[in-house]
A and B are shown apart, each in its own frame.
Chain A
Amino acid sequence: MKLDVKDLYFQYEQDHALDHVTLQVHPKSFVGVIGPNGSGKSTLLKNIYRALKPKSGTILFNEESILSMNYKKSSQMMSVVGQENEVSFDFKVEDIVKMGRTPYKKIFELDNQKDEEALIHALKQVGLEDYRQKNYTELSGGEKQRVLLARALCQEAEFLILDEPTNHLDIYYQLQLFELVKSLDLTILSAVHDLNIASQYCDYIYILQNGKIYDHGTPKELMTSKMIQEVFHVNAEVSIHPITQKPHIIFLPSI
């Protein structure tokens, strides 16, 4: 599954916009989008997963425009773990995960054996086999996030979008989630808040600044103290970590 975004332009009623963003995600790669708050990371992803409609530009999935596709079809190609994770209605974990099967269902159709298998497989992947009957509302933040990831996996789409799903989680859960998705055989586009996590897990990175692509490349090419100073306005020292062999960022006091 290949994603091709060309000249994407978007504007909210007041400010915040995307200005001619062009981006590519190659099959089976893990691409990260980084940038300070308000740089447009989430806006970009929302345009791709159709929560927002771009003013101009094209978004192609395997050469097919997603903007004119029906929702059922696009949801069979991409799944999303987004920022909405509060559900004020009483659902069991298995109910929530099974909702990932919705794109394959016709009107009146009931669940079948294949849905059951997808459900069990997805729960196993996130390590929540024993949680089927638990109430979603009673889970911890990290568990909820894993349930939502299981729902996305149950959707059996090749392309997975992560819209800052680890924002409010403890570092343990953040790492656990990225470890997990990295181990899956999927094409992934993710907004990433933490620069060290980005350089550790991403194959390729796009940097957003004020709605524009500032630069893109591999973590090794991008992570420099000059870039961090210009985009994030902090002093930092970047070295290659001896164990991970990835760029490692240490933030320095400004004086």
Chain B
Amino acid sequence: MLKKLSFSKVIIFLLMILLLSIVIATTLGPVRIPMIKALKIIIVQLFGESVMASDWTLIEQNTVLLLRLPRVLLGAIVGASLAICGVAMQALVRNQLADPFILGVSSGASAFATLDMLFGTFAFLGAYRLSLSAFIGAAMTIILVYMLSRIKGKINMTQLLLSGVAISMIMDGITKMITLSAPNALGLHNAEFWMSGSLAGAKWDYLTLPLVTMIICMGVLIANYRTLNVLLLGDQTAGTLGVHVERMQKLLILISSLLAGVTIAVSGSIGFVGLMCPHFARLLVGSDHKKVLPLSAILGAILVIWTDVAARMILAPEELPIGILTAIIGGPIFIILLRKKQLR
């Protein structure tokens, strides 16, 4: 067991790494742009042309500002959202193995988003229709998995994981069928995008909704950090400690669905982030949600930024779907956690 480190030191250290990661990741890609230059472009954009003279081409400026920076920032937001979504789901089912991808929530969100693209169910909602339908898909899957795995008021772990697997298979099947049957209508978003995720094609417009959603959900969760801690002791115990358990569970379902739905609408399903980041956060600072939530968010952001860098560098100029990489890293960690649970 690692010695628990001072929380504020860990947070400050990781925040610095996050900032550094954002800048460095912006310089990396098929077209190499020196770090100083990229930094200058960002600074000029932030503070105006008067700060320093420009010594870069318009192509370089566009690559940094219109292609890379939004992509890196989207990665950070998606990573943070998936990590806190994992924390919320783990508190809901009282199990560290919960993750939107493992429990089929990502697949549910993807299936509903593709359904919407095909039938235009939520067309009247304009720009946010994709996010909304993904949210509905996520919510339905969470509720379904939750109900299937509850036996006599307790969450059964085997039941939980198996229903997650079954539901994600069904939902992936639906997604595949839709994307294969109507390839033209779906344009950029193909089956691979929904099932293994991608941050390619990120634009500044894509950032607002996920960012706002993440900030609100994070705020609500942090405000209720005590309740989340108490929930880990069990429903009955939580009730005797003054928690309105049912109301809190509904809130957690709502928050995890929002986080999963909104993120998946912009990035497809990127798995295991919600499993790995809370796990590492707990190793560093223990299980108190006041600490686990912010720490997981920062770890999630860093993890997705760098996995995305790897995704666009490893087979350059081809791009790997980022979800494939997170699965290769996250899968073994899931297995280790599963073994540890069984041995207890």
Contact = CB atoms under 8 A, between A and B. Distances in A.
A90 to B, nearest CB: 5
Contacts of B241: 75, 99-100, 102-103, 155
B95 interface: yes
Interface stretch (A18-26, A77-85, A195-203, A219-227): A77-85
A135 B1 CA distance: 11
Interface stretch (A29-37, A44-52, A172-180, A184-192): A44-52
Interface string B237-271: 10111111000000000000000000000000000
A122 B266 CA distance: 50
B166 interface: no
Contact of A91 (B1, B237, B287): B287
A71 B237 contact: no
Nearest to B153: A51
A135 to B, nearest CB: 8
B233 A92 contact: no
Contacts of A90: 282, 286-287
B62 interface: no
A108 B239 contact: no
A155 B240 CA distance: 10
Interface string A53-95: 0000000000000000011111110111011100111111001
Contact of A89 (B1, B96, B239): B96
Interface in B211-253: 222-224, 226-227, 229-230, 232-237, 239-244
B275 to A, nearest CB: 14
B236 A82 contact: yes
A103 B242 contact: yes
Instruction: Give the interface size class of chain B.
Output: 20 to 34
A72 B242 contact: yes
B341 interface: yes
A103 B224 CA distance: 13
A96 B233 CA distance: 9
A123 B237 CA distance: 19
B232 A89 contact: yes
B9 interface: no
Contacts of A124: none
A50 B288 contact: no
Contacts of B95: 88
B149 to A, nearest CB: 15
Instruction: Give the interface size class of chain A.
Output: 20 to 34
A71 B236 contact: no
A63 to B, nearest CB: 21
A29 B243 CA distance: 28
A105 interface: yes
B339 interface: no
B68 interface: no
A107 interface: yes
B287 A89 contact: yes
A108 B223 contact: yes
A89 B98 CA distance: 13
Interface string B266-288: 00000000000000001000111
B189 interface: no
Interface string B1-44: 10000000000000000000000000000000000000000000
Contacts of A51: 235-236, 239-240
Contacts of A70: 244
Interface string A98-132: 01101101011000000000000000000000000
Contacts of B1: 135
B239 to A, nearest CB: 6
Contacts of B233: 84, 87, 96, 99
A107 B240 contact: no
Contacts of A155: 241
Contacts of A89: 96, 232, 282, 287
Nearest to A95: B288
A171 to B, nearest CB: 26
A86 to B, nearest CB: 8
Nearest to A135: B1
B8 to A, nearest CB: 14
A102 B237 contact: no
Contacts of A73: 242
Given A99-B229, A102-B230, A107-B224, A91 B240 contact: no
B101 to A, nearest CB: 21
Given A89-B96, A99-B226, A103-B242, 19 more contacts: A46-B236, A49-B239, A51-B239, A51-B240, A71-B239, A73-B242, A75-B239, A88-B95, A88-B96, A89-B232, A91-B229, A91-B286, A95-B229, A102-B241, A103-B241, A105-B226, A107-B223, A107-B224, A108-B223
17 contacts: A49-B236, A51-B239, A51-B240, A72-B242, A75-B239, A80-B237, A80-B240, A82-B240, A84-B233, A84-B236, A89-B96, A90-B287, A95-B229, A105-B226, A107-B223, A135-B1, A155-B241
A-B complex: 8 closest residue pairs judged by Cβ atoms: A75-B242, A103-B242, A84-B234, A80-B240, A51-B236, A72-B242, A89-B287, A102-B241
